[in-house]
Amino acid sequence: MPKTVIIIGAGPAGLTAAYELVTKTDIQPIILEKSTDMGGISKTVVYKGNRMDIGGHRFFSKSDVVMQWWQHILPIQGAATKDEMQQDIYYQRKKTTVTLASNGPDPEQTDRVMLIRKRLSRIFYLRKFFDYPISLNTKTLANLGIVRIVKIGYSYLKIRLFPLKEVNTLEEFFISRFGTELYQTFFKDYTEKVWGVPCNAIAADWGAQRIKELSVSKAIIHAIKSIVHKPSSIEQKDVSTSLIEQFMYPKLGPGQMWETVAAIVQEKGGIIIKNANVTSIQTENSYVQSVTYTDALSGTTKTVHGDYFFSTMPVKELIAGFGNVVPADVKAVSDGLQYRDFITVGLLLNKLKIKNQTNIPTLNNLVPDNWIYIQERDVKIGRLQIFNNWSPYMVADNTKVWMGLEYFCNEGDALWQMPDADFIQFAIEELHKIEIIDRNDVIDSTIIRMPKTYPAYFGTYHQFNTIRQFTDTFSNLFLIGRNGMHKYNNQDHSMLTAITAVENIKNGITAKENIWAINTEEDYHETNDK
């Protein structure tokens, strides 16, 4: 009888695992997806023809496996010129009107390609733009002023000469890399806005996970190299991830990738069950036998049996699903795991108040940033995406500006509970206040709430190994992906955990060390010395 793998979750990790199974084994995957979407937070949300990327997803990796995997699904078309953008958007509107607000684009109605996009992210601070990562150029010096520059230089030299003996917190991680003054100027407030707790309450692991390759020295070296050298290929293997100058991007947003993968999985015999909320896991000895889920539409409860089980669901929910077999210490750690939730407000505008003052040409002289980090202390908005700059196909009318205003919050707090209309108006007023937009230029708006977007590196995170030891005892259970492992992985690292888990099954390996090592061990870091 053919073997089956039950996969909980249809995000990048779950769909990658399913694809690997249907294309490289005779094992059938059955995906149980809680929502109707494919791609998790990597989905594309469509609102009146305008597409939203939840959180922003650059398709770039230091892994050749992942880069080739993506291009096999959606080959590279190339960069769009200014004229091509105008012509292609017009053609796209004439060709088809896609209204799949929750299910994403139909691969049969769209071009299955990736665009090569220019990367630009900047910091908005003191009502001015700063390069990200910070560059020591004349504009930065002028924006900061001589007093701040001297303080930054002094504190950086001080930490180089007298390094910290221990680096346990995120605050210590930042200071050890950048010095106290640079940390307090560009990292402290924004990071605490993202996580809602002081940096000295967050484990240093977050820095090691997200910005391990970033440092002042590397930024300086990159700036010097970029004067005489431009990237000749999309791989950019000699460039740290935070410094890349271009990346791949699906023409219709990240969801196009995962809708396409889901279609291939189903064509090759895989099964995807939507609206399936997994509620319990049944085990016998050290073996998972089945999982039970509730159909969100009918309310009926069903149980599916399998030979192997992949979980990408939040660890907190997975442990709760085990019921009484969970030891008290494991349950205590699980109950203490925390998450950061996410709200995106989509705004359609006639124009922005801020102007493009760079030498980068854009349609309608729009600022060229993919996203802007809002460092200002007098507003709660954390980051701003300009979807026009991710792909010209993200906006239905290229004479308009389509943006995503990103807020970090906790499910149940004042921001999360604010009525939609009030929150949208609140967001509009914040951007008006810091003079990025004029409130009178807003044409339309929408709002998206995403719970458990970011697994937190505080709470009982420091005891997470207790949970790992428990789940690793089940020989046929594999935790993969960001929420599945409670690791703030990028999309590519989540995919690698899935690929590795499938390889383990193919090779009869029940140990999980090589999965947990991804984005921790040298081979998976995002730098050449990783």
* Domain ranges within the chain, ordered by starting residue: 4-36+274-337+458-524, 40-64+74-119+245-252+339-455, 131-232
Question: Can you identify the CATH homologous superfamily of domain 4-36+274-337+458-524?
Answer: FAD/NAD(P)-binding domain (3.50.50.60)
Residues in the chain: 530
DSSP 81: P
Please tell me the predicted confidence (pLDDT) of residue 96: 36
* Residue listed under structure tokens 């307090």: 184
pLDDT tens per residue across all 530 residues of the chain: 789 999 999 999 999 999 999 999 999 999 999 999 999 999 999 999 999 999 899 999 989 999 999 999 999 985 444 444 444 443 344 433 333 333 444 444 458 899 999 888 999 999 999 988 777 677 888 888 889 889 998 999 999 999 999 999 999 999 998 899 999 988 899 999 999 999 999 988 877 766 655 555 555 444 445 545 555 555 555 554 445 578 999 999 999 999 999 999 999 999 999 999 999 999 999 999 999 999 999 999 999 999 999 999 999 999 999 999 999 999 999 999 999 999 999 999 999 999 998 888 888 889 999 999 999 999 999 999 999 999 999 999 999 999 999 999 999 999 999 999 999 999 999 999 999 999 999 999 999 999 999 999 999 999 999 999 999 999 999 999 999 999 988 999 999 999 999 999 999 999 999 999 997 644 333 333 32
Please tell me the distance from the alpha carbon of residue 318 to that of residue 218, in angstroms, as a whole number: 40
CA 376 to chain CA centroid, Å, is: 23
DSSP 79: P
Please tell me the distance from the alpha carbon of residue 368 to that of residue 242, in angstroms, as a whole number: 17
Please tell me the predicted confidence (pLDDT) of residue 360: 84
Name the CA dihedral angle for 61, 67, 69, 70, rounded to a multiple of 10 degrees.
90
* Residue listed under structure tokens 């309608």: 364
Q: Looking at the domain that runs over 40-64+74-119+245-252+339-455, which CATH code has it been given?
A: 3.90.660.20
Query: Can you spell out the DSSP letters for 419-480?
Result: -HHHHHHHHHHHHHHTTSS-GGGEEEEEEEEEEEEEE-SSTTGGGHHHHHHHHTTSTTEEE-
Please tell me the distance from the alpha carbon of residue 502 to that of residue 288, in angstroms, as a whole number: 17
